[in-house]
Each structure stands twice: as C-alpha cells, then as structure tokens.
Structure 1
Amino acid sequence: MTQRDIKNWLNPRLQMADKQLHQTDKKPLKGNDPFFLGIDLGTCNIVSMVIDKEANPIATRVDQADVVRDGIVWDFFGATQIVRKQLESLQQQLGVELTKASTSYPPGTEPRISVNVLEATGLEVTSVIDEPSAVAQMLHLKNAAVVDIGGGTTGVAVIKNGEVIYSGDEATGGHHVSLTLAGNLKVPVEEAELTKKQQGKKIWPVVRPVFEKMAAIVQEHLTPFDVDEIYLSGGSCALPGVAELFSQLFPKQRVILPTLPIFITPLAIATYGMDKSCS
C-alpha cells in the first residue's frame, strides 16, 4: 500500500474533524451508508469520531476528562458517563444507532481496560489496537517511528517494511507538563492546564524539561532501530516548541508533526476499525 500523504490525505481530515467539533445540526445518514466509530480514552480528553467509508470524519466529540491516569482508568463510572453522553449526541446528530466501536490503549497496558468502558455503555468493541500502532497503520508507514504523546503516557511504535515490529510506552505526558507548570506558577492543575493551552509559547521555557524527558524516553526506545522518519501525534504535541525540540534531538530523522494532533489517534482508531471490517 502507498504511504498516505500528510498534507493531502491526513491534514484535510484533521481539519474536517475540528470543524465538526461544535456542530450538532442533524445530518442523517442513509441506512446503507457505512460508517465507523473510534473512541480514544485519553488522560485529558475523551474523543469520539465517526468516519465514512473514505475515512472522512463526519462527526466528532471531545470532552475534557480526568478519568484515565498513566494508561489506567481510575474513574470507571466517569469514563462511561462521558462516552454515553458523546454517543447520545452523535446518534442524535447522525440519526443512526451506534452499536459498534473501535478503541485503543497505550502500549504495555491491558487492552481490556478500554474495552470494558465501551462495553459498559452497551457498545460492541470490534477492534482494539495500541495508539502509536494505529497511527502507523493508518498512514501505511514503511520505515518510521510514531511517537504518541498523550495526556499521561508517551508511546512509541517502530515500523519496518510496513510492519510494526516494536511498541513501548512510558508514563510521562501532557498531564505531567501541567503538574510542572502548576508547581512553577503556584496555581491549581486545572488552571495550569488552561494556561498551557492559551499561552503555550510563553510557558515553553518552563515546560521544556518535561518534553526533553519525553524525548529521552523516545531515544531510549529507538536506540536499537534505524528509522528514516518520526511522526508525532497526540494532543500534547500541539504545544509550540515540541516539533522543533524533537528535530534538534533527532537530527538524522525527519520529524513530522501533522496539524491538530489531538485528532490523529481517534481518526486512526476509526480507520483501523474500518480496515478490519473490510478485511
């Protein structure tokens, strides 16, 4: 399969998902139109995305959430409530019943954790895959690494000859950035989270050491491998300075950061579910 282009294939779909974020106008689907739901249970956000047979997002929901920490669902009830709310909103908008979904998990954690949340809402989980591997398969990567920096973890997948040959994960992510910022500013973590989103460039010098730690984690995972490219994904990558830091620390690889990285993993999850259903 031909590698999918970031500029012409991925970025337009991510922008499409962003535009749909606050749209609730009814857009009924025809009964025979295939669609696929992917749900990303993140540390800071839960994202649900519905795509069509061309992997174009047709509806997206995002809710801030503190129900997952370091890849573990610590607030099971809260997670199921958010997923149920998103399902109801999507069903109302699209005029269809959502009964099946795909989901993901950080490498090295138990896949059943995410599956249990979705099943508790009444969904049938048709496929589950670790987050960086989902991105790698969506983009049809050949010789590359995917670095997924989520809210609680940094995941790495290595792809050789189009196959994922290694995946690993460490418990450092965007939440740890917020904790560092909260300590520096002497404010609650919730306030630090908002400051991080609103003043990313200004606070970069304070949080850079946390991202340097993430980069060191990635270097350790990638030491045994020779890859040409590193693809960054996950909402935490949106902070100004992240892509430049990785480019400096990985001079032998081309570092690629798509637009709106918060939507990469849910799109990849839904696309993986679509591919599995067609195989």
Structure 2
Amino acid sequence: MSAEDWQSGSNDTAAGGSGDYEGGLHGDNWRRSYKADFRLSGIQANENGSIDLAFIYGTPTLSEGQKANLANPSLAEQDGMLLTFEHTQGNFFGGFNKFIVQYGTDGLAVGGFDNHAGEGMNAQKGKGYRFIDWGVIEQDKWNMGYSFIYGSKDIDETATSWNAPGKTDFYNAVIRPGYKWTENLATVVELGYANERKDGGDWEDLRKVTLAQEWNAGSNFWARPSIRLYVTNYSGDKVQDDANGNKAETMFGAQVEAWW
C-alpha cells in the first residue's frame, strides 16, 4: 500500500445548471453546489501499469427565486455522483497509454459526458458516461499522439431555460503521426473524425485533415516552443455551406505554441 495515496476533500462550485430566471444567475442570485472528492491513486496493476480511482459526490442548493421561476424545481435539485477509473500504461512503445471510464448521475451526469468531470454541476436528473483511450508513441524517427472517445448522456432538460438536447451520443477519433527529419524539424499529419446524434435524430459528422511543417525545441512529442506552417481541410455535416454550397473548407496559416 505504500505506493497508494488517498486524497479527499470538499469544495463548492456554482450550480449553473439550475436554470435561468429574472435577475440572472449571478451575484446574490447565484447558488452553490457542494462537492466531496475522494481519490485513490498509484495502485500497481501490472508491469509499468497503474490504476487511479476517483469518486465525487455533489449536492446543489437553490434560492427561493430560482425555485419560484422553474417549472419543476425538484428536477434541478438533483444530487449527483461521478465515478472515474483510469489505467495508465507506461513504457508503451516509448510513450504511454491511458484508458479511462467515467460515469455520472443526475447533478454530475454531464461530468461523465462532456466537461471537465466534476468541475461544476448541471443540477438536472439524468446519467452520462464516456470511454476514453489516448496516449503517445515515441520512437527515434517518428512519434504519434492519438485519442479515441465515446460518450453518451440522457438528461432531463425541462428544468432549464435553454433548448438543449436531452439525449446525445457521440464518438471521435484523432491520430497525429509525425516524422522527425532532424532534432528540431518534423512533418506532422493530423487526421480527425467526429460523429454526433442528438435526441435520436440523424448522425452528424465532422472530418479534419491537416498537414504541417514544424520547428520544435527538441524531437519529443511534447517539445515546446513550436512553430508550424499548416494547411487544413475539414468537411462533413457540421461544416456550414460555403458560397458555392459545398460542405468543405480549406485553410492555411502559421502557429506558435509555447508553454510556461
């Protein structure tokens, strides 16, 4: 057990998902959600592999003004929990791989679907879950970043004032291989695909292809700062028609990325 660390705590966050009303959700009208956060990390699972577990429980509070202006305030007073399982595999073809499963209920249902997983509460009744697999492969002459995600949510949006879909499913995949010409020069290709369906309707997709020439402060995938010249083409159902009625767009430019 020496490699395992318990981390627990509690805090409060704004309950923005409880619906709008006259006066707005700000200042004295903004009510809080209280969270308890428990984490168990560094569980040895296999050679170069470890497991992290997390459990978050949250409960919102509504003001009398919020309750009076909601059609059904009980729908916006939903406690919620968020469960996270994460397996990290080190020494994975020179890099690492992370596999994550998250499941959220009621007030934290969206946290198991499409936000920062417990950062805030959308205090509605429902459930959400997602599977994520992502990582980096690092070799002498090439590297590749990748991510694959599938998520689903089914949330009662009648307690909110906005017109949001209650049932949403989505999946996406991205790969980013790069060839290292020198220690500081690389050519990178990015391929991305996303598909989404709302309230049982048709699936709508989005595709992206990018070719980039990069100058980096090192050959590692994470080396920064980085300067890149790129050309990108994207297409699919979620791309708006251009003046000619085509669902495709090509753009090019230059980027600088730096971390500190």
**Larger relative contact order (C-alpha < 8 A, sep ≥ 6)?**
1
More strand by share: 2
Question: TM-score, length-normalised on structure 2?
Answer: 0.26
Question: TM-score, length-normalised on structure 1?
Answer: 0.24
If you compute each CA radius of gyration, which structure gives the higher value, 1 or 2? Answer: 2
